[in-house]
Structure 1
Amino acid sequence: MATIAEALSHAAGLHQSGQLDEAEIIYRRILDVDGGVAAAWHLLGVVHAQTGRFGDAADLIGRAVALDGAVPDYHLHRAMALESVGRLAEAVDGYRTAHALAPALADAAFNAGVLLDRLGRADEADAAYAAALESNPGHARAANNRALNRRAAGDPAHALALLAQATAAAPDFNEAWLNRGMMLAAQGNAPAAAAAYARAVALDPANAAALEGVGRTLRAAAPLRRAVRLASRETDGLEELAAAFAAADPAGVMPAAFRAFPFLFRDGEAAGLAAAAGHNAAIGPLPVAAGAGLDTILTFWGGQPPRPAVRLALRSMVAQGHPVRLYSYDPVDGLPAGVAWADARTVVDEEVYRRCVRGADIRFFSDLFRYRALHRLGGWWLDTDMVLLRPLRFATPHVFCTQWGGAAQGHMVVNDAIRAPQGSPFLEHLFTESMRALDRGGPVPFGAAGPLLLTRELLAGAGRDLLAGVMPPMVFNPVDWTRHAGLDTPGAEHRDRIAHPRVAGVHLWHGMWGPEGPPVDAARPGGILHALVQRFSGSDPVSAVDPSNSR
């Protein structure tokens, strides 16, 4: 009879060879015999993570941590699972613990920094990147990300030194060369900036489109930097912002996108709701001819029963009269009536999904899936935490949405709501670029297939002719992710915000609340969330799977 150690070794061999089902059976048998084997809990959790069951993975590896908290990998792998289910603050703690136990794990400190940036804790993120670089001075991504933080903190000299460190450590890291070019340009060092940009284009010719007009804009670099700095914070003066951009481009030669775009993403929040009108004639929702049909709404869910906030959002979409089609790789239980399930394999091969899951980045998959779905089918894409307040009738065939903050990180256009016609060349381009980033391998920057890609391509890339369809944040993101708690805060100012005629939907920022999402079932009276629950309350009879929608 095999000992537990022998059984564990055999199971680990099966695991390493990719026989995950067989390994899982043996891990469970070991734990049936002795529930105190921390390594078995850990490896069982890793199997769950590799097969997309991240919530269970976090719980299982948590058992290993409870039994033996001195093993760095336990904390590291649990943090990865926690991150995948949106429990970001807990994931940060896990990454930090892993790095403290094993300072050589520079990636653990780097991952903590990435999540701290997402949580808006910039100073802590900066310290985490510094810790990663102390462990590994050649960690190019840590140097690049810390450079962005130092630039935002008003320390450009240190930022440039960090980017030099990043490009020295990874000469093929084109993102660092792009950032280095931008910072050199902002200091007025045109020759060095041009050389950095040239290096970025040589590494990836797709960068050439994003750099059109750089030579013209270098002359205005210093005032442009001031204008962007103003745009990236919540200034109360649109007049000040307008003056800054006018100073940046006195001859009017700067690409129109750079002059107009800040008004799109600052509009409303900066100067109050009354200022939302007047800056962009295409701002919607705009009416269409009477009797026109409503576009189908496409969305995706990862397979487990949808959370209360997701059911609320889906009910709201159905309530506005739109056909709603939810894609997944397995049938989803508990869908509200009116929501048709469709097989995601008809849009993107399941192996692409598995590749993204193995890399613990389901967000990246969601980005590329929406581009392919919209290109092939047309209509609307809405995230499953977007509560829809009115039917979507827009005059422009392409519609994109923005958020209040994120300018300093390049996250201005977000993709929680997109409209596109069937066969859109731009959506095909976005899918191609996303797959290219996936196929390059290695770590993928946050937003590389989402906000970063969309912002770049709409400002100065393949989508620069579609700027008329870029909506201000009021339309779909009236409450920023950094203020998501305001959704459950009583007060007239919050209710008034979603009553504004420009608001078509309310993004609930599901992942910011933890694995269960916002407290839909315990929303506080007088807040936005409570008002939405009351408006779209109702039971959730399961909608039948409709094979005709599985094309």
Structure 2
Amino acid sequence: MRNSLATLWVGERLGPIELASVESFLRMGNPLTVYSYAPIVNLPPGVQARDANEVFPARKIATYAREGSPSLHSNFFRFALMRNTDHTWVDLDMIALQPFDFQGDRIYGYEKADQVNCAVLRLPKDSPVLADLSKLTAETRGVAPHIQGLRRLKYWVKTLGRGVPIDRWPWGSTGPRALTAYLRQHDELKYALPLEVLYPILTADCRRFVTPGDLTDASFGPNTKAVHLTASNINKILKAENNGQIPEDSFLGHHVARARAAGFL
């Protein structure tokens, strides 16, 4: 059975990376639901649109103080999705290369040797990991769960025992780092998929996705279900080096072309 996928989008339009991601999931036959707090003007046909308040009611979008990124809110929503639905979460910077037909109620994979990512995530509703992740809210103040030992003590001392507001925690502290910390704590890292399944290209090498003549779908082995573009990094690279334009003869360029051919762009 192909997994039913879902995600959250904050904003009125999907960009070319997101549309390429959507096209890849639909082409692989996976049902996809996109939740949002306001209508998305260019949501492609074949995608189910749902009100995000059904899963995680919110009057305000939580953002990281330094970056202004709504990824903080996306993490809260992601964990609520695990509690309240049977969907598998997917980020819209994943490009599917095979159908998502994962078995079982735990779906997460290594993105590097010592860290799991949550760009694709499924957890059991009774998971102690999910229970711990669900304790993180916009009002949380403390020390990020991945910070341990003497460094953790220093945070408490520095803040006179008050801790740090969650929106000022280091990047990734409520996402991959928190997930990895709690999986380790509850001995559930053993269920993580190998790096090659979802994250065969390390974040440090994401430039390869927009390098002309480098990667194609055929570059990946039979065990690779998808690749993670890390859109925030890709967009920075394109803005700095290519006037924001996606090279046509690149991995991402080819997938954007597929989305265009499907009428999404």
TM-score for the superposition, normalised by structure 1: 0.39
Deviations along 1:186-213, whole A, 9 cap, x unmatched?
xxxxxxxxxxxxxxxxxxxxxxxxxxxx
Which residue of 1 is the match for residue 121 of structure 2?
Answer: 418
Partner of residue 354 from structure 1, selected from 34, 38, 61: 61
Contact 1:476-1:507 at 8 Å conserved across structures: yes
Shift of 1:403: 1.4
Contact 1:477-1:505 at 8 Å conserved across structures: yes
Contact 1:434-1:448 at 8 Å conserved across structures: no
Distance 1:438 1:416 in 2: 24
Which residue of 2 is the match for residue 540 of structure 1?
Answer: 264
Which residue of 2 is the match for residue 135 of structure 1?
Answer: none
Which residue of 2 is the match for residue 247 of structure 1?
Answer: none
User: Would the alpha carbon gap of residues 517 and 510 (structure 1) be closer, same or farther in structure 2, given more than 3 Å must change?
Assistant: farther
Distance 1:535 1:473 in 2: 26
User: Would the alpha carbon gap of residues 489 and 305 (structure 1) be closer, same or farther in structure 2, given more than 3 Å must change?
Assistant: same
Contact 2:35-2:51 at 8 Å conserved across structures: yes
Which residue of 2 is the match for residue 453 of structure 1?
Answer: 178
More strand by share: 2
Which residue of 2 is the match for residue 329 of structure 1?
Answer: 37
The SS at the match of 1:354 is coil
Structure 1: which 4+ aligned runs deviate by more than 6 Å? 515-521
Distance 1:311 1:424 in 2: 33
Deviations along 1:306-331, whole A, 9 cap, x unmatched?
10110110111111111111111101
User: Would the alpha carbon gap of residues 324 and 427 (structure 1) be closer, same or farther in structure 2, given more than 3 Å must change?
Assistant: farther
Distance 2:140 2:253 in 1: 43
Deviations along 1:391-434, whole A, 9 cap, x unmatched?
112233201122136x4xxxx1111111234x343464144232
Contact 2:78-2:89 at 8 Å conserved across structures: yes
Distance 2:202 2:45 in 1: 30
The SS at the match of 2:82 is helix
Shift of 1:534: 4.6
Distance 1:356 1:429 in 2: 22
Residue identity matched to 2:252: L
Partner of residue 495 from structure 1, selected from 210, 216, 229: 216
TM-score for the superposition, normalised by structure 2: 0.78
Shift of 1:516: 10
Summarize the alignment of residues 117-136 of structure 1 with structure 2, pairs less than 5 Å apart: none
Partner of residue 80 from structure 2, selected from 372, 384, 406: 372
Identity %: 23
User: Would the alpha carbon gap of residues 316 and 468 (structure 1) be closer, same or farther in structure 2, given more than 3 Å must change?
Assistant: same
Shift of 1:535: 4.8
Shift of 1:295: 2.1
Summarize the alignment of residues 225-374 of structure 1 with structure 2, pairs less than 5 Å apart: 293-351=1-59, 353-356=60-63, 360-374=68-82
Which residue of 1 is the match for residue 157 of structure 2?
Answer: none
Shift of 1:377: 0.3
Residue identity matched to 2:127: P
Shift of 1:373: 0.6
User: Would the alpha carbon gap of residues 439 and 484 (structure 1) be closer, same or farther in structure 2, given more than 3 Å must change?
Assistant: same
Which residue of 2 is the match for residue 386 of structure 1?
Answer: 94
The SS at the match of 2:75 is helix
Shift of 1:496: 6.8
Q: Which runs of 5+ in 2 are unaligned?
A: 142-163
Which residue of 1 is the match for residue 153 of structure 2?
Answer: none
Partner of residue 481 from structure 1, selected from 203, 211, 215: 203
Distance 2:17 2:217 in 1: 21
The SS at the match of 1:330 is coil
Deviations along 1:519-543, whole A, 9 cap, x unmatched?
8974342x322343355542128xx
Which residue of 2 is the match for residue 439 of structure 1?
Answer: 140
Distance 1:497 1:302 in 2: 32
Distance 2:238 2:94 in 1: 12
The SS at the match of 1:310 is helix
User: Would the alpha carbon gap of residues 457 and 427 (structure 1) be closer, same or farther in structure 2, given more than 3 Å must change?
Assistant: closer
Contact 1:309-1:517 at 8 Å conserved across structures: no
Shift of 1:382: 0.6
Contact 1:399-1:419 at 8 Å conserved across structures: yes
Distance 2:120 2:107 in 1: 8
Aligned residues: 236
Which residue of 2 is the match for residue 404 of structure 1?
Answer: 112
Distance 1:356 1:496 in 2: 34
Residue identity matched to 2:58: E
The SS at the match of 1:325 is strand
Deviations along 1:97-145, whole A, 9 cap, x unmatched?
xxxxxxxxxxxxxxxxxxxxxxxxxxxxxxxxxxxxxxxxxxxxxxxxx
Distance 2:134 2:65 in 1: 21
- RMSD between aligned residues: 2.8
Distance 1:361 1:430 in 2: 23
Deviations along 1:136-185, whole A, 9 cap, x unmatched?
xxxxxxxxxxxxxxxxxxxxxxxxxxxxxxxxxxxxxxxxxxxxxxxxxx
The SS at the match of 1:350 is coil
